[in-house]
Amino acid sequence: MKYVSTRGQSPALSFCDILLGGLAPDGGLYLPEKYPHFSDADLTQMRGLNYRDLAFAILSRLIDDIPATDLKAIIDKTYRAEVYCYARPNQNPEDITPTLKLEDNLYLLSLSNGPTLAFKDMAMQLLGNLFEYVLQKRGETTNILGATSGDTGSAAEYAMRGKHGVRVFMLSPHQKMSRFQTAQMFSLQDDNIFNIAVKGVFDDCQDMVKAVSNDAAFKAKYKIGAVNSINWGRIVAQVVYYFKGYFAVTDHNAQKVSFTVPSGNFGNVCAGHIARMMGLPVDKLVVATNENDVLDEFFKTGVYRPRGSAQTYHTSSPSMDISKASNFERFVYDLVGQDGAKVRELWSSVDKGGSFDLNAQGYFDKVPQFGFTSGSSNHTNRMATIRDTKARYGVVIDTHTADGLKVALEHRDANVPMMVLETALPAKFEDAITEALGHAPERPASLNGIENLPQRFTVMDNSVEAIKDFITKNV
């Protein structure tokens, strides 16, 4: 299995060679040269496997440069009930991603029972173990530099803590994350985790990361790496739970299931697309956005028009406040018939701050063949959905999942199970839940008082020299 770039001008590489990098040298994103395919007989064999065995069945078809016994051990170490321990009382943590039935043909797929209460743990925990394995094999180390407004940074830190050969330098805007998110990250005492609170906003943090990464000499000397959402290792890990969810609500392969995915960078739903391309009987893939509706606009009109950070709204589903969906290029590559030259042409405009219109070019008609459709949600919808879900089903959901459920209800078909991906637990977004319900959501008992733990972080000026200096002193 080799991986090629969506822009068609990079050499084909193996999984371990692309794992530690980001973009391909030609600026594109990596995808398998050819998607592996699961036949009806394969699906029948996979039905009933536990999460770990299912993950191995799928990942071993996409990763062929790690010996099978080693890959199995990495997967077994990652997907344990003790790690995904925040399941609801009526769910079995052994399922890793249990389903929750709301009513006939309407389910939540619980992806947020891991250490940081968001679905990003599903992929990041695997990435942590894969990084450690590959670095050790190669006798290398890496210094991961990232910027976060909350979910990504905490998932990365919990995945990389204590890992040999890995240090994490995570920038976050000083005093701008929620108390819970701050406590989650800053209470980590591991030597290889560095929390840096930048006197500025999230965009300042991101600009600092970009400036450091653009300094090729510094980047090479200090082995600066990233774990951002375009990393193929993250996408691949996310493919597994679509299969798990599908098998949980069907009993034979002639049945189809639709999935609704709260989306920002298009990483999560891109994994659903890949699962479908690999033969999973998916009916619809519904992309749900918040007020930042760049993706909804595309799926309604064929026009992809990313916006700048100044035009990005700050919403009550903040992890979807994204106006440039970094993984979207992977789907467009498949949509235009895996034509790297076409993707280069389209992104030559996007990379200059422009847009493109696939309707005018005759590709937009093909979107339904890929199952995609979309909708958007806003603060009022979100609050109403959280209240309704509590009232009808006695279930408290978070704001991102609420965006998903709101849109899912607009796209249901009789007799086709609809699954909404639960991308965070409500405890993570206490203020918004309190606004919706008049009381705070329940918090897992083991996280009570997390705000009172000692915190380990460094306050830093919004300065590229300051972060370079800090890295130099700490590696």
Ligand X SMILES: *Cc1c(COP(=O)(O)O)cnc(C)c1O
Site for ligand X, rule CB under 6 A: 118, 120, 151, 229, 262-268, 319-320, 400, 423-424
* Spatial contact of 269 and 300, defined as CB atoms under 8 Å apart: no
* Spatial contact of 23 and 4, defined as CB atoms under 8 Å apart: no
Which CB sits closer to ligand X, 143 or 373?
373
Question: Min. distance of Cβ 134 from ligand X in angstroms?
Answer: 23
Annotated active-site residue in 2, 72, 120, 284: 120
Which CB sits closer to ligand X, 258 or 265?
265
* Spatial contact of 324 and 294, defined as CB atoms under 8 Å apart: yes
Question: Min. distance of Cβ 424 from ligand X in angstroms?
Answer: 4
Contact partners, residue 195, CB within 8 Å, separation at least 6: 157, 170, 172, 185, 186, 188, 456, 457, 458
- Active-site residue, 176 included: no
Closest CA to 420 of 235, 156, 155, 241: 241
Which CB sits closer to ligand X, 171 or 320?
320
Give me the helices (H) in 351-455, please: 379-393, 399-409, 430-437
Question: Min. distance of Cβ 155 from ligand X in angstroms?
Answer: 8
Which CB sits closer to ligand X, 43 or 386?
386
Element (H, E) at 145: strand 142-147
Question: Min. distance of Cβ 425 from ligand X in angstroms?
Answer: 9
Which CB sits closer to ligand X, 245 or 264?
264
Contact partners, residue 251, CB within 8 Å, separation at least 6: none
Contact partners, residue 338, CB within 8 Å, separation at least 6: none
Which CB sits closer to ligand X, 51 or 266?
266
Question: Min. distance of Cβ 267 from ligand X in angstroms?
Answer: 3
Element (H, E) at 225: strand 224-225
d(CA 416, CA 105): 6
Partners of 458 in the β-ladder: 196
Contact partners, residue 178, CB within 8 Å, separation at least 6: 150, 428, 429, 430, 431
Catalytic residues: 120
